Amino acid sequence: MYEAFVAAVAVLAGAVASVAGFGIGSLLTPVLSVSLGTRLAVALISVPHFAGTALRLWRLRAHVDRGVLLGFGIASAAGGLLGAFFFSRAGSPTLALVFGLLLLLAGIGELTGLARRVKLTGLAAWAAGALSGLFGGMVGNQGGIRSAALLGFHLPRHAFVATATAIALVVDLARMPVYFAVEGRAIVAEWPLLLLTLAGVVAGTLAGERVLSWIPERIFRRVVATLIVGLGVYMLTRGV
């Protein structure tokens, strides 16, 4: 039953991410943390997150803004390395608290509309890029901060999604070596869950655009935001 639930959430996470640009780590981490603890869950999910993000980038590669990617990506990668360092030093309760707080803020920001109104420009945008990488490296959750920063560059819709995806992949490349150095043996030991989530995320990514295009964007975003708030509260209680 648990494995079937994990598989269903993995497919949902890949589908949501293919449309909303986030969701793989946000949805899967709380589910896997039940059996693995937050620390190992964050490390293991980096693999399907990388696969889903790489697949999404391949489909959107023609729309990437290379200028923004170069500068913003460097700042995010530096933040990702620093975040991975904090990951290697922190325990599961601390990571659960940080992750839960980020989910809660992201969900509330979306429900209130604040997340779509905030636009960062200049140095604030670059600082937010580094901060998004930091949280991406630490707990794998960075989409909200990164989106707020990228809004300041006034990119067209397709370029926005493609560039955000490319930056997420850069952060994955920066943090994953640290994850495997710290939790590599534990990740390999959980290979059934790893393969299950990997297959689910890839399947969801491929199917997501067609399936979720039937749902009105306003309703979709509110449902996802409500789910994220609930997951954030759950992770906070685990951390406490």
DSSP string of 133-191, one letter each residue = HHHHHHHS--HHHHHHHHHTTT--HHHHHHHHHHHHHHHHHHHHHHHHHHHHHHHHHTH
Question: Long-range pairs for 4-8 at CB < 8 Å and ≥24 separation?
Answer: 5/31, 6/31, 6/32, 6/193, 6/196, 6/197, 6/200, 7/196, 7/197, 7/199, 7/200, 8/200
- Whether the per-residue pLDDT at 142 is higher than 90: the answer is no
Q: How many other β-carbons are positioned within 10 Å of the β-carbon of residue 125?
A: 20
Tell me how many degrees the CA angle 126-14-27 measures, rounded to the nearest 5. Answer: 75
pLDDT score for 240: 65
- Whether the per-residue pLDDT at 23 is higher than 80: the answer is no
Task: List the domain boundaries for the chain.
Answer: 2-239
Q: Which of 45-59, 70-84, 117-131, 175-189 has the lowest mean pLDDT?
A: 117-131
Q: What is the mean pLDDT of the chain?
A: 82
pLDDT score for 119: 66
- Whether the per-residue pLDDT at 129 is higher than 90: the answer is no
Share of the chain above pLDDT 90, in %: 25
pLDDT score for 143: 67
Give the model's confidence band at 220: pLDDT under 50 very low, under 70 low, under 90 confident, else very high. low
Give me the mean pLDDT over the 88-115 stretch: 78
Backbone angles phi and psi of 215, in degrees to 5 = -95, 130
- Whether the per-residue pLDDT at 103 is higher than 80: the answer is no
Q: What is the pTM of this model?
A: 0.82
Contacts with 140 (C-beta within 8 Å, 6 or more apart), sequence order: 25, 29, 42, 45, 46, 49, 99, 175
CB 144 within 8 A of CB 109: yes
CB 76 within 8 A of CB 138: no
Write the pLDDT tens digit of every residue in 33-87: 888 988 899 999 999 999 999 998 998 889 898 888 888 888 888 888 888 888 8
Higher pLDDT, 103 or 31: 31
Give the model's confidence band at 163: pLDDT under 50 very low, under 70 low, under 90 confident, else very high. confident
CB 169 within 8 A of CB 92: no
Give me the mean pLDDT over the 19-44 stretch: 85
Say what angle helices 92-112 and 38-60 make with each other, to 10 degrees: 50
d(CA 215, CA 185): 41
pLDDT score for 212: 59
